[in-house]
Structure 1
Amino acid sequence: MNTSLAWLPADEFTRILDGIPDRHDRNKAFADAARINTLYSIMRAGSGHIGSSFSAADTVAWLLLEEMRSPFAGDGDIYFSSKGHDAPGLYSALIALGALPQEKLHQLRRLGGLPGHPDVSIPHMHANSGSLGMGISKAKGMILANRLTGVNRRVYVLTGDGELQEGQNWEALAGAVHRGLGELTVIVDHNKIQSDTWVAHVSDLGDIEAKFAAFGWGVLRCDGNDAHELDEAFRLREKEHAGKPAVIIADTVKGAGCATFAATSMPDGEWRYRFHSGAPAADDYLGAHRELTTAVDTLLARHGLAPLTFSHADTAPPAKATGPRLPEVYGRALAERARTDERIVALDADLVLDTGLIPFSETLPERFVECGIAEQDMVSMAGGLASRGLLPFVHSFSCFLHARPNEQMYTNASEHRKVVYVGSLAGLLPAGPGHSHQAVRDVSAVGAIPGLVVLEPANSAEARAAVGFCAETDASVYLRLVSTPVPDEAEALGAEPLATGHGRVVRAGGRTVAIGSGPVVLTQLLRAADLLAADGVDLTVVALPWLNRVDSGWLSALAADTDDLFVVENHYTHGGQADLLARALLELGAERVASFTGIGLTDVPLCGTEAEVLDAHGLSAERLAARIQDRIRPATGS
């Protein structure tokens, strides 16, 4: 069913800017109009971060309209978001000011459009976001570069309050003072909620003002959703703290601008903020749209201007895939296992909803540790738990878990501590959030850690079996979980007992063989096999869930019946399963070696819908079938 969505064309923003002389009213009207377009773009995309975009909207408007010198010129002041979730709101403001083409408003999270998180490929986006906490350090480097090249540019960085749990923020503070970086202003979007719940309940920040001041920073505080207070804070910043870095702690409301999304409207006792990510329901959209429209129209009327005039687009919401989600299946299995295995402790990095840990946290709260946005701390803590005989299961998104605490993982291995690392949101999909959240180098990053096994289950049955394997094996494990719903083809494969390094044939065929792991790759291979069958190619599909282990005897038997071998992976081609198997095949020293092709990503993953991104990277069933057909030996016919 199509939904009519309303958006504001650029000339409506021009009318606001030209027709409202009072800059505080103008800022409020602009911010709320930008919220309307932010909401539109998220609804059209089917996903995005409303709460964070809305909490920062007034601050972003003030910076772009009043504070920054020539923000769109090559030598003008710089603003960027370190927290990144507010990208849809920043895009809307840039489009409203003509800094981005208006048609981009309709292309959030689409291939060739606007990525779900900041990316420097988009004009006026000065830094990418990734694992949080990098922004202040990046700003310091920009300022030093400006000084070396003789350019006087102020730099403004927006951070989240939950983001301040990351240690790199605090590493950055002393050096900024030491070098007298008076060009640097950090604004903390202090909306009190990180991801889905309250910062104070996850890992309380304490007295933020005192902490910044202790490093020698100038510190100010204001209501970040009030233009009058923002104005005063920035004036005081220049008057009282010139010549040194300063922070403005902007107290905001997550979802500010309308009661529908405002965290102040959360029911008593509700721990979860419902609008952190994803598109709202139709009723919530309509209610919020009415609230925001009324707010802007009221300001327009105050200055003798006509109400807003909208453009409309009838759009069907993106189809939502059905099927089990492996983190949820895994989480229930872990909680069940932990009831009888008292060694198990679960640690989480501010992603309890997305890592499937709600059942564990509710049934075994004494053995659940919420670490907040602090992966290095979490992984080292796990090493300490393991040193006392416990079995820690460590959880985050794969993109964050394999990278920032990589050294800590290696140290745990050097101490022979058994730890289970569980990375959700693994691989190319979902593609909407963009490359900062697409974990496609994790296998290469952790696969060489001594004593660590990398395992990727293909479906619910295999995920449940993986929990048992993780608990029973002597090895540490990196459990790689795809978070998108498992397609029917992969779910129907069931599971066999897990034996390290052994795979299984999931579609019997001829001497053309494709190996893969996980629900995304195996589903596309099974579909590719159907396409190839129509062309007379009988593809054998093999599931090998072990990404850094292979049994030589099993591989030798498979290779003996293979003419053309393809290894397809939801990962970069370097350092993944294909490299492992190619080396293993060479070391077998067989007289006859099958032709070998590795297929995977070769460039930074793209942002867009699942279908268009799989196809763009050559991992759709159609592209895989074509690649296999082109590569196989013409004489085999199979």
Structure 2
Amino acid sequence: MNLPLSRVPLAEFDRVRTGIEDPYERTRAFSALCRINTLYMVMRAGSGHLGSSFSAADVVSHLLLNEMTAPCTDEGDVYFSSKGHDAPGLYSALIGFGALSEDLVHGLRRIDGLPGHPDVHTPFMPFNTGSLGMGISKAKGLILADRQLGRRRRIYVMTGDGELQEGQNWEALGSTAHHAMGELTVIVDHNKIQSDTWVADVNDLGDLIAKFEAFGWGALRVDGHDQQALEAVFRKRAEAFPDRPVVIVADTVKGGGCATFAATSMPDDEWMYQFHSGAPSDEDHASAHAELVAAADEVLRRAGLDPLLLVPEAPRVPPAGPSLRLFQAYGEELAAQAEQRTDIVALDADLVLDTGLIPFSERHPDRFFEFGIAEQDMVSAAGGMAAGGLLPFVHSFSCFLHSRPNEQIYNNATEGRKVVYAGALAGLLPAQPGHSHQAVRDVSAIGAMPGTVVLQPANAAGARAAVRYCLDTPHSVYLRIASGAVPAEVDALGAEELRTGIGRTVRAGGRTVAVGAGPVVLGQLLEAARLLEADGIDLTVVELPWLNRVDADWLAGLTAGADRLIVVEDHYVKGGQADRIARTLLETAPAALPSFRGIGLTEVPRCGTDEEALRAHGLHAEQLARTLRAEAEGTGTPGPLDLASRGTVRRV
């Protein structure tokens, strides 16, 4: 159904900031309004992080209204989030504070709007988030620059408690204390839950106060939802530790300030927090919205002000119902194969839901290992397991799995250890989380690893076949698994037996041949082929799931029947599949060399809806049809690499 929405206008934030004298009540009201608009933004976007935004809302409101000097100015104190999942709440606060345009309240996760995670192209976002754990080091560098340039300001960094499982945090602590960085305050949003479940059950942090103190930091603890307590702890920080970096462990509730979303409302036997990401149901939205408005109105009533005036907004049309995801088929097949292969073990980095591992964890709990947000540790442990005679399947989002433990993957490869790396959320889509979560350089980062095959399935049958291939091959494998819905026409293609480097024709046509892999690219190419039929152009579409392998004989046979060969990929053009195919063509020099073009990303991927992102990067079916039409008609724009006139290899 269409869900009516409403939000708090900027005038109401101004009324709270100027009309409530008591600073504690003013901050309570401000954070209540921020939560209402955070809920609106996430519902309008259809996705986002509510739990982390709500747990951090009271601390963020306190900093902006009471603690920071000249916030959101070039010379004022600096605040940023290292954990990143609180971005919707931070945007809401900055809009309410007047630092961001009010129109942006409608732009969460939209092109030219507010990215799903912090990005420096948004005002007052000094740093991007990426793999977690970078924030303290970023703050340290900013302080060193300030000292070098004669500036003096305070730097506040918000981290998550799950984020503290990343080793870079601990690398940064010793030298920060050594340099007596009294300018730095780190706030830990200690809501006790990481992405899916309880921190204590994944990788317990132990005594955080003692750990930070052991590095020479000042360490304090506070109720992160109590405004009087927050004011007192920041005052104590200034008085007790003027020349030392300080951590404030803020005990919070994930989803705090709203019983509908609060982790304290979870049943005792529930292990998974339901509101980490994504938009809530219509029923949960209605319940939460009523609760949040009532809480805000109560503060206004105590201050002698009229109730909130909300702005109604156009209803949101919810997305279509659930559809098949590749990681579901992958996870089911892995669990099934593990019934026969007792050497299979599964390792996860705090993403058991998103990597399809729930069936495995339930059916083989003794062979499931949760490492938390610690990819380097996980990958090296996998190398140890392989050395001990096991076959490890290692899981995370592709954006983190190919990058954070890249050196560890290489080390495993040099030892000849067979490990399967399963990277979910691979490629350009979904684009709403933003570029930190869009894996579009993973093929180039992993493709050169010795003895490692990069394989991307396109549908459920392909995902199941990929698992079986991983069991049979002597090589390590990086599985590039897209997380979006699989187009029906791609799922209907089924799968054939996987033979390394050999593709298959999924749409027979003429002598203009387009090659791609994965559900996104193949879906767009099949749609482009339909569009081209009206112009009498019969496009041949070929699936080549091997992103760093191509069989020279198979390629020679393909090119013998082609005048034009176009490779499309949702990856940077440098180091991707097109480069591999072009090199093979040049090295084998077949008698009939078709014209060649590679199409892919040439800039940092954009955040937005799937269609917005595809169009922004020229990968939408309509754009591909125009490009392919020009190629077929001989009017395509030459790329920077031109060879002979008949046998032209062009790369753009």
Same fold (TM over 0.5): yes
By how many angstroms is 1:214 displaced?
Answer: 0.2
1:509 aligned onto 2:509 = yes
Which residue of structure 1 aligns with residue 642 of structure 2?
A: none
What is the letter of the counterpart of residue 52 of structure 2?
A: S
Give the Cα separation in 2 of the matches to 1:590 and 1:373.
Answer: 48
By how many angstroms is 1:411 displaced?
Answer: 0.3
What is the letter of the counterpart of residue 165 of structure 1?
A: Q
- 1:70-98, CA deviations, whole angstroms, 9 ceiling, x for partnerless residues? 11211111000000000000000100111
Q: State whether residues 323 and 487 of structure 1, in contact with CA within 8 Å, keep that contact through their aligned partners in structure 2.
A: no
Which residue of structure 2 aligns with residue 266 of structure 1?
A: 266
By how many angstroms is 1:631 displaced?
Answer: 2.2
- 1:236-269, CA deviations, whole angstroms, 9 ceiling, x for partnerless residues? 0000011010000000000001100000000111
1:280 aligned onto 2:280 = yes
By how many angstroms is 1:322 displaced?
Answer: 4.7
Structure 2 SS opposite 1:194: coil
Which residue of structure 2 aligns with residue 553 of structure 1?
A: 553
Which residue of structure 2 aligns with residue 419 of structure 1?
A: 419
Which residue of structure 2 aligns with residue 6 of structure 1?
A: 6
Structure 2 SS opposite 1:555: helix
Q: State whether residues 565 and 594 of structure 1, in contact with CA within 8 Å, keep that contact through their aligned partners in structure 2.
A: yes
Structure 1 SS opposite 2:600: strand
By how many angstroms is 1:321 displaced?
Answer: 6.4
- 1:426-469, CA deviations, whole angstroms, 9 ceiling, x for partnerless residues? 00111110000000000000000000000000100010010000
By how many angstroms is 1:632 displaced?
Answer: 2.5
Give the Cα separation in 1 of the matches to 2:315 and 2:579.
Answer: 44
What is the letter of the counterpart of residue 228 of structure 1?
A: Q
Q: What are the within-5 Å matches in structure 2 for residues 199-598 of structure 1? A: 199-320=199-320, 322-598=322-598
Which residue of structure 2 aligns with residue 81 of structure 1?
A: 81
By how many angstroms is 1:19 displaced?
Answer: 1.1
- 1:454-488, CA deviations, whole angstroms, 9 ceiling, x for partnerless residues? 00001000100100000111000000100111110
Structure 2 SS opposite 1:147: helix
What is the letter of the counterpart of residue 272 of structure 2?
A: R
Give the Cα separation in 2 of the matches to 1:73 and 1:635.
Answer: 51
In structure 2, relative to structure 1, the CA distance for the partners of 1:189 and 1:635 (3 Å cut) is closer
Give the Cα separation in 1 of the matches to 2:538 and 2:84.
Answer: 46
Which residue of structure 2 aligns with residue 38 of structure 1?
A: 38
Give the Cα separation in 1 of the matches to 2:281 and 2:321.
Answer: 17
What is the letter of the counterpart of residue 136 of structure 2?
A: I
- 1:335-354, CA deviations, whole angstroms, 9 ceiling, x for partnerless residues? 00001101100000000000
By how many angstroms is 1:162 displaced?
Answer: 0.2
What is the letter of the counterpart of residue 597 of structure 2?
A: T
Which residue of structure 1 aligns with residue 647 of structure 2?
A: none
Q: State whether residues 301 and 307 of structure 1, in contact with CA within 8 Å, keep that contact through their aligned partners in structure 2.
A: yes
Q: State whether residues 322 and 486 of structure 1, in contact with CA within 8 Å, keep that contact through their aligned partners in structure 2.
A: no
Q: State whether residues 335 and 363 of structure 1, in contact with CA within 8 Å, keep that contact through their aligned partners in structure 2.
A: yes
Q: State whether residues 5 and 316 of structure 2, in contact with CA within 8 Å, keep that contact through their aligned partners in structure 1.
A: no
**Greater Cα offset, 501-510 or 612-621:** 612-621
- 1:344-402, CA deviations, whole angstroms, 9 ceiling, x for partnerless residues? 00000000000000010011000000000000000000000000111000000000000
Give the Cα separation in 1 of the matches to 2:400 and 2:279.
Answer: 24
By how many angstroms is 1:316 displaced?
Answer: 2.4
Q: State whether residues 559 and 592 of structure 2, in contact with CA within 8 Å, keep that contact through their aligned partners in structure 1.
A: no
Q: What are the within-5 Å matches in structure 2 for residues 179-218 of structure 1? A: 179-218=179-218
By how many angstroms is 1:589 displaced?
Answer: 1.6
RMSD of Structure 2 on Structure 1 (CA) = 1.0
Q: State whether residues 43 and 317 of structure 1, in contact with CA within 8 Å, keep that contact through their aligned partners in structure 2.
A: no
Structure 1 SS opposite 2:229: helix
Give the Cα separation in 2 of the matches to 1:221 and 1:180.
Answer: 21
Q: State whether residues 10 and 95 of structure 1, in contact with CA within 8 Å, keep that contact through their aligned partners in structure 2.
A: yes
Give the Cα separation in 2 of the matches to 1:181 and 1:326.
Answer: 47
Give the Cα separation in 2 of the matches to 1:618 and 1:496.
Answer: 30
What is the letter of the counterpart of residue 237 of structure 2?
A: R
Which residue of structure 2 aligns with residue 126 of structure 1?
A: 126
Give the Cα separation in 2 of the matches to 1:322 and 1:494.
Answer: 20
The unaligned stretches of length 5 or more in structure 1 are none
By how many angstroms is 1:633 displaced?
Answer: 4.1
- 1:398-428, CA deviations, whole angstroms, 9 ceiling, x for partnerless residues? 0000000000000001110000000000001
1:161 aligned onto 2:161 = yes
By how many angstroms is 1:588 displaced?
Answer: 1.0
What is the number of residues matched between the two proteins? Answer: 636
Give the Cα separation in 2 of the matches to 1:9 and 1:258.
Answer: 20
Which residue of structure 2 aligns with residue 25 of structure 1?
A: 25
Which residue of structure 2 aligns with residue 56 of structure 1?
A: 56
Give the Cα separation in 2 of the matches to 1:164 and 1:455.
Answer: 32
Structure 2 SS opposite 1:197: coil
> Under a length normalisation based on structure 1, what TM-score does the superposition of the two structures give?
0.99
- 1:253-294, CA deviations, whole angstroms, 9 ceiling, x for partnerless residues? 000011000000001110010000011111111111111111
Give the Cα separation in 2 of the matches to 1:574 and 1:225.
Answer: 48
By how many angstroms is 1:630 displaced?
Answer: 1.6
Give the Cα separation in 2 of the matches to 1:434 and 1:408.
Answer: 26
Identity of aligned residues (%): 64
What is the letter of the counterpart of residue 323 of structure 1?
A: S
> Under a length normalisation based on structure 2, what TM-score does the superposition of the two structures give?
0.97
By how many angstroms is 1:179 displaced?
Answer: 0.8
By how many angstroms is 1:320 displaced?
Answer: 3.3
**Greater Cα offset, 322-331 or 481-490:** 322-331
Give the Cα separation in 1 of the matches to 2:326 and 2:499.
Answer: 20
Give the Cα separation in 1 of the matches to 2:152 and 2:178.
Answer: 19
Give the Cα separation in 1 of the matches to 2:417 and 2:498.
Answer: 22
Give the Cα separation in 1 of the matches to 2:51 and 2:226.
Answer: 17
Q: State whether residues 321 and 485 of structure 1, in contact with CA within 8 Å, keep that contact through their aligned partners in structure 2.
A: no
Give the Cα separation in 2 of the matches to 1:188 and 1:233.
Answer: 13
What is the letter of the counterpart of residue 5 of structure 1?
A: L
Give the Cα separation in 1 of the matches to 2:21 and 2:237.
Answer: 24
Q: State whether residues 45 and 318 of structure 1, in contact with CA within 8 Å, keep that contact through their aligned partners in structure 2.
A: no
Q: State whether residues 514 and 565 of structure 1, in contact with CA within 8 Å, keep that contact through their aligned partners in structure 2.
A: yes
Give the Cα separation in 2 of the matches to 1:635 and 1:232.
Answer: 70
Structure 1 SS opposite 2:238: helix
Which residue of structure 2 aligns with residue 618 of structure 1?
A: 618
1:112 aligned onto 2:112 = yes
Give the Cα separation in 1 of the matches to 2:599 and 2:149.
Answer: 44
**Greater Cα offset, 425-434 or 310-319:** 310-319
Give the Cα separation in 2 of the matches to 1:432 and 1:260.
Answer: 25
- 1:493-537, CA deviations, whole angstroms, 9 ceiling, x for partnerless residues? 100000000000000000000000000000100000000111111
Give the Cα separation in 1 of the matches to 2:100 and 2:130.
Answer: 23
Q: State whether residues 47 and 279 of structure 1, in contact with CA within 8 Å, keep that contact through their aligned partners in structure 2.
A: yes
- 1:114-151, CA deviations, whole angstroms, 9 ceiling, x for partnerless residues? 00000010000111111100000000000000111111
The unaligned stretches of length 5 or more in structure 2 are 637-652
By how many angstroms is 1:634 displaced?
Answer: 4.0
Give the Cα separation in 1 of the matches to 2:430 and 2:381.
Answer: 30
**Greater Cα offset, 247-256 or 68-77:** 68-77
By how many angstroms is 1:296 displaced?
Answer: 1.1
Q: State whether residues 2 and 314 of structure 1, in contact with CA within 8 Å, keep that contact through their aligned partners in structure 2.
A: no
Give the Cα separation in 1 of the matches to 2:562 and 2:438.
Answer: 33
What is the letter of the counterpart of residue 357 of structure 2?
A: L
